[in-house]
Structure 1
Amino acid sequence: MIAAAQAAQPAAPAAAASAEDPYLWLEEVEGARALDQVKAWNRATEDLLTSDPKFASYESRARAILDDEQQIATPDQVMGDLVANLWRDAAHPRGIWRVSPLAGYRSGKPEWRTVIDVDALGKQESKSWVWHGADCLAPDYRRCLISLSPGGTDADVVREFDLQTGRFVDGGFVLPEAKSYVSWVDADTLMVVSDFGPESLTTSGYGRIAKLWKRGTPLASARTIFEGEKGDVSTAPVAVQDGARRWVFVRRGKTFWTSEHRLLTSAGTLVPVPLPDDAEFEDVLGGRLIAKLQSPLEAGGRTFPEGALVAYSLEEVAAGRAATPELVMAPSARQAIEEVASSDNVLWVKALEDVSGKLFALRRGADGRWVSSAAALPANSTVSLLSTAGASDTAFATVESMLSPPALYAIGFAGAPAIVQSLPARFDASRFTVEQRFATSKDGTRIPYFLARRKGLKGPVPALIHAYGGFRAAQTPTYLTGQPYRAGPLGMFLVEEGNAYVLANIRGGGEYGPEWHRSVLRENRQKSFDDLHAVAEDLIRTGVSAKGKIGISGRSNGGVLVGAALTQRPDLYSAVISGSPLHDMKRYSHLLAGASWIGEYGDPDKPEDWAFMSRYSPYQNVRRGVKYPPVFFYSSTKDDRVHPGHARKMAARLGEYGNRFYFHEYLEGGHSVGADHAEDAKRAALLMAYLKRELGGAGK
């Protein structure tokens, strides 16, 4: 998904937009005319698709899967000897935040204690609260900052909570609704970046001013310690607990992909951290800042390769001395480092190797060399590093594949991984097969994709290709009850009924390290579209599917992808699912958080950038007289990250030119579109009914 903005930017005045755009009124998010149109489109879509004879069974089955109490109770945060988890089921659609002793949790016998019932709290306070997380202060983890969003927007309210008493703290820290960044400095001090009024935001709509806020004082009196530039993307605090020490930083996001970090010293001053501006801050371990390089680095008489992890001594940084990096881990040509987390003495690194997950544990020896060992987890799987338990040097990770349900493992540095919890199968996997294949893109690049279908199936059959292609976000094959993203068990429904489901690893993600992403930035975006076309054509070439039977799916940044694909190759695709999409690339940087993504796409207000963006911008490339595949748009009115006007305007333009489309916009849910399981289940059923109508009957 596209990265969250920390503050909404109002739409540019209509007068500033092209006079040729007749649908600017659809950018009025809560405008009466716009909402009337949305409601009419919603009714038409529901009236048509709910008539599918199997719609009710799709919806009820999806809801049962999503609400089933046999879920992985993920360790959202390990807090000393406690594990915290947000649990959702039929009785608690918005969730309960609960804790269990770590020992019981690790043994597979947790003893849960409910701390906050989000549904009950919302009812009590007459708010449609959606959980946005908790930040509890080490080492005692008693005081927590609870973030709650009204309706699922990126904006939230932050309130101080006492974990011991189970109550919000009277007279404690409270931040009003805004898109804020906040971190503990110590028990009586917060670092806050928020909307402090006029001129406190960047042009991207993010906060640019960091303040230190002392307990018992008004927020208005908080001391400013850093101010970013108006033209930056953002400013944000970064706080990391490293054993008994807490390291606090200010991150200045100069562009989406470049930043500067400053360390807050004990004297309350800031000193610069010598990270390359395109490096990614990952964690702190043993007084060393761990960062991932996005380009080669020359330092200390050696060259560190792009994609590698390096470490800097924070003691040297705090003292104002030159800190020379040391190599922690360098991935192979087939690997990409994706996730990093530390426990008290171990650095845990999740990497991809030809898009399969691997987990490594690293320790720093007395000689300064880092020693790595690979965890013995199932091969050819997706591994997700969830959290770590500090003192016990344990990592918790889930392992799954398209045909294997998730299992939660506890992994120690030396011992064999132990299964904490495993889920039962939701379908008979013996009937299906999954294989990794490679298509050849227009420029000769090999593009991996995963193909799931029924064993012994004779093609060509309807096929759905899901892809993303941006923001370094790798697409890995997870259990079919959750494929594709935000569509619940749609992948499972498709494969069960004899269709093919495909997950494409096109360029723009992080599947093969920095270059896999960098190669399609800005003027090179067309390569990601070519990659998608290559996968579709490979399905045709190999007899898996055929023209007239291929659908594509993309969400958020994936909306740019599928929008460009449908305008470029309407002959190749017969169904298009476009979720929370970007489509009007001429206006995107003036809508909500759009300006923050200029580093990814380019600046449409600069003629030299619009010259290449205009060649693919979906909204501007819809042509009269061309028959386009019927698109299913889904989005949320409360999406304050990607403006709902993108989907609305694209639908209106397609309709104006005589093309059929489907449209469904939820009021709540924010950029994720689903505020609860009921909405997700309905979406899965609507999409399945849509694909059957547009791609034909299932394979036999």
Structure 2
Amino acid sequence: MKSLAAALLALAVALPAASQTPPGATPDNDPYIWLEDVDGARAMQWVEGQNAKSAARLEKDPRFETFLAEARGIFTAKDRIPTPRFRAGGIDNLWQDDAHPHGLWRHTSVESYRTASPAWTTILDVDALAKAEGKRWFYKGAVCLKPAETTCLVRLSNGGGDAVELREFDTRSRAFTAGGFRFAEGKQYVEWLDPQTLIVGREWAPGELTESGYPMVLKTVSRTGETKEVFRSQKSDVWAQPVVLRGEGGRTDGVIVQRGLTFYESEYSLLTDRGLVRIPLPAKAQQQDYVDGQVIFTLQEAWGGFQPGALIAYELAALKAGTAKPQLIFAPGPRQAIQQVAATDGQLVVALLEDVKGAVDVWDYAGGRWTSKRLPLPKDANVTLVDTSPKDDRLFVNVESFLEPNSLWLADGAAGTAAQVKALPARFAAKTHLVEQFWATSSDGTKIPYFVVRPKAAKLDGSIPTLMYGYGGFEVAKPPIYMPEAGKLWMERGGAYVIANIRGGGEFGPAWHQSVLREKRQLAFDDFAAVARDLFARKITSARRLGIYGRSNGGVLTTVSMTQHPELWNAVVVESPLIDMLRYHKLSAGASWVGEYGNPDVAEDRAFIARYSGYQNLKPGVRYPEAYITTNTRDDRVHPGHARKFAARLEEMGVPYLYYEQTFGGHANDADPELNARRWARHYVYLAQKLMD
């Protein structure tokens, strides 16, 4: 699927000064630095007080219980599509509902999965495990030994964060292996080399992590406990990760070491008996998969005659011999972008965007040539890969759009066929709305696409309550998706929804992303404001009825939009956010994102970051919209101190705001279905108060 670096996005992407403090505040003159103490008594007392005030406002609203019931019905529905994962010749799924909020890891056959009522076998009851051990365990996947895939390393998160404990598990006996491999909690990578040996990246000794908080030392670990260091990165790097290349029958054909120099720049080397052998690549390249003896990469910059965004292959045998030359597989056009790459047993699968709509191509390698065919899937929809089979050429694909619920398709890459196997029932009345795609003109003349989902019958007089979403970072595209909670709680009540495909995302490939990196970031914020003004010009909505929402990197967007253009919106939802951009690199995984934003410790970078950083640019006397700021105590990716300090700064200035911090669940905020339902109920009560009342 996506590269390991991209998987850490999900990407889906901290410092208040007193009123008189200028941009460039340091911890020494930041009166709210104490709010960065995640579990500190003073900080948690502040959180409890804020939560109580916000709950009184939002959860006492007459609409809250209705919104909560509707959201709970969505997130705990029994007729959801169970997300499939190929394993051991069958299908795995993690199932969460009101009776199992932490989840059941379960298994069935492919044939049974295709029926309306699959016969599931529970492998691990995560709720029972959490209760027995007195922990808030959440299942974060398993790394299983091929080809049988019955001996696995289970990833368990205590609270839903990125840090996990690893334990060996036997799926046949459905029990943890006595005396098996086990690693204490931490951010760590692990792959099987053979039944007796692992390659692991973790904090082996105190401090053996990069400045970003990720592993920097890779070791092989045997069942006897013997360890051998095979790679050591630098503290200033982002991470060191192992990639095991699986050949026929699950054998280990080779091991690649990725040294992450920055979030976007890496060195790739083969681990051989002679030591590390560098793979000739530009710094901005991502390893994607391995199939038919070919190691697959995407290029994020022009190199060797290849354009940015190109998909290329190296023959592994030639790499080992030092004679390899890259071969072009596919070069996206100007309105295309590669979103996902994955291998089946003998095919390479590529999910694309074309004008921000999805398609899937399957590539075959034979006779030294790559040839492709397009899978017969619905058009004008978002199409994403769910999983690919390592034992044959089958793959699952998800298809969705704003008004059409998710459907799951089982395709055969070799045959070029695809058939729908499951479909989500409609969660809201979609016939009242229509979807339009428009283009706004940004400050430098660039055309910015955006989607509008609005009521058909509403007058275009600027009165439609509208929620606008944006992200604009890390080359993460935001195509149309089916959002049942937005449909039920917002659109059914007459609201409109907008996705602004601003620069920084991956809608049109690497160039769309790289055009707003570092000192050019202001253009992404300009794009967002341009979409708002275009909505006003089309009389779809007005500043009185427009609200914005962003999370993670989107928190940079929403807080900058709030401080630079308070006149454009009447509601601002800031979730799991980055905000203090002069200190972000000191908090949690922030140092890994210097390639995106710049380094505040470098004077030139600090100057351009300080010009937009939402935390430092709040100004006394400005009439800001009342924001709703929310985060999670157990978010170990984006530090909760960002959200806390922004709220404290607003409080100091006498600016109205709401703040709520969930105490577990991690960065995604969706580990527990009940808490997720309450989260969205609060969101939409706030938005209804601000934009519909």
Instruction: State the TM bucket, normalised to the shorter chain.
Output: over 0.9
Match of 2:266 among 228, 246, 259: 259
Q: Any conservation in 2 of the 1:316–1:322 contact (CA below 8 Å)? A: yes
Write the distance in 1 (CA, Å) between the matches of 2:141 and 2:171. 14
When normalised by structure 1's length, the TM-score is: 0.93
Aligned to 2:123: 115
Aligned to 2:397: 397
1:283 and 2:289 matched: yes
Match of 1:472 among 454, 471, 475: 475
How far has the Cα of 1:656 moved from its partner?
A: 1.1
Q: Any conservation in 1 of the 2:344–2:393 contact (CA below 8 Å)? A: yes
Write the distance in 1 (CA, Å) between the matches of 2:81 and 2:174. 25
When normalised by structure 2's length, the TM-score is: 0.94
How far has the Cα of 1:79 moved from its partner?
A: 2.2
Aligned to 1:378: 378
Aligned partner of 2:355: which letter?
D
Aligned partner of 1:64: which letter?
G
Aligned to 1:223: 228
How far has the Cα of 1:18 moved from its partner?
A: 3.9
Write the distance in 2 (CA, Å) between the matches of 1:630 and 1:140. 55
- Residue 133 of structure 1 aligns to a residue whose secondary structure is strand
Write the distance in 1 (CA, Å) between the matches of 2:554 and 2:593. 14
Aligned to 2:53: 44
- Residue 297 of structure 1 aligns to a residue whose secondary structure is coil
Show CA shifts across 1:573-596 (max 9, x none): 111000010111111111111111
Q: Any conservation in 1 of the 2:472–2:505 contact (CA below 8 Å)? A: yes
Write the distance in 1 (CA, Å) between the matches of 2:119 and 2:318. 44
Distance 1:511 1:312, change over 3 A: same
Q: Any conservation in 2 of the 1:79–1:138 contact (CA below 8 Å)? A: no
Q: Any conservation in 1 of the 2:114–2:422 contact (CA below 8 Å)? A: no
1:144 and 2:186 matched: no
Structure 2 residue runs of 5 or longer lacking an equivalent are 16-24
Write the distance in 1 (CA, Å) between the matches of 2:416 and 2:312. 26
Show CA shifts across 1:106-137 (max 9, x none): 46663321100110111111111011111111
Distance 1:48 1:586, change over 3 A: same
User: Which is worse superposed, 20-29 or 554-563?
Assistant: 20-29
Q: How does 1:487-506 map to 2 (within 5 A)?
A: 489-506=485-502
Match of 2:561 among 559, 565, 581: 565
Aligned pair count?
A: 673
Aligned to 2:526: 530
Q: How does 1:260-409 map to 2 (within 5 A)?
A: 260-265=267-272, 267=273, 269-298=275-304, 303-319=305-321, 321-366=322-367, 368-409=368-409
Aligned to 2:673: 677
How far has the Cα of 1:324 moved from its partner?
A: 0.4
Q: Any conservation in 2 of the 1:2–1:557 contact (CA below 8 Å)? A: no
Show CA shifts across 1:269-292 (max 9, x none): 432222322111100011110110
How far has the Cα of 1:63 moved from its partner?
A: 0.5
Aligned partner of 1:154: which letter?
D
Aligned partner of 2:690: which letter?
E
Distance 1:225 1:416, change over 3 A: closer
Match of 1:237 among 229, 234, 242: 242
- Residue 249 of structure 1 aligns to a residue whose secondary structure is strand
Write the distance in 2 (CA, Å) between the matches of 1:102 and 1:173. 30
Write the distance in 2 (CA, Å) between the matches of 1:392 and 1:352. 26
Distance 1:565 1:624, change over 3 A: same
1:32 and 2:41 matched: yes
1:462 and 2:465 matched: yes
Match of 1:625 among 612, 621, 638: 621
Q: How does 1:541-552 map to 2 (within 5 A)?
A: 541-552=537-548
Aligned to 2:447: 446
Distance 1:430 1:199, change over 3 A: closer
Write the distance in 2 (CA, Å) between the matches of 1:188 and 1:268. 22
CA RMSD in angstroms, aligned pairs only: 1.9
Write the distance in 2 (CA, Å) between the matches of 1:193 and 1:513. 30
Q: Any conservation in 2 of the 1:5–1:206 contact (CA below 8 Å)? A: no
Write the distance in 1 (CA, Å) between the matches of 2:679 and 2:148. 42
Q: Any conservation in 2 of the 1:336–1:351 contact (CA below 8 Å)? A: yes
Aligned to 1:590: 586
Write the distance in 1 (CA, Å) between the matches of 2:6 and 2:65. 32
Write the distance in 1 (CA, Å) between the matches of 2:35 and 2:491. 37
Write the distance in 2 (CA, Å) between the matches of 1:261 and 1:674. 34
Write the distance in 1 (CA, Å) between the matches of 2:544 and 2:369. 57
1:178 and 2:186 matched: yes
Q: Any conservation in 2 of the 1:580–1:644 contact (CA below 8 Å)? A: yes
Distance 1:529 1:84, change over 3 A: same
- Residue 336 of structure 1 aligns to a residue whose secondary structure is strand
Write the distance in 2 (CA, Å) between the matches of 1:589 and 1:497. 41
1:154 and 2:162 matched: yes
Q: Any conservation in 1 of the 2:218–2:241 contact (CA below 8 Å)? A: yes
How far has the Cα of 1:432 moved from its partner?
A: 1.2
Aligned partner of 1:371: which letter?
T
Write the distance in 2 (CA, Å) between the matches of 1:330 and 1:123. 51
Distance 1:550 1:51, change over 3 A: same
Aligned to 1:87: 95
- Residue 475 of structure 1 aligns to a residue whose secondary structure is coil
1:74 and 2:83 matched: yes
How far has the Cα of 1:675 moved from its partner?
A: 2.8
Q: Any conservation in 1 of the 2:430–2:487 contact (CA below 8 Å)? A: no
Distance 1:580 1:3, change over 3 A: farther
Show CA shifts across 1:383-408 (max 9, x none): 11011123431111110101111110
Distance 1:491 1:537, change over 3 A: farther
- Residue 304 of structure 1 aligns to a residue whose secondary structure is coil
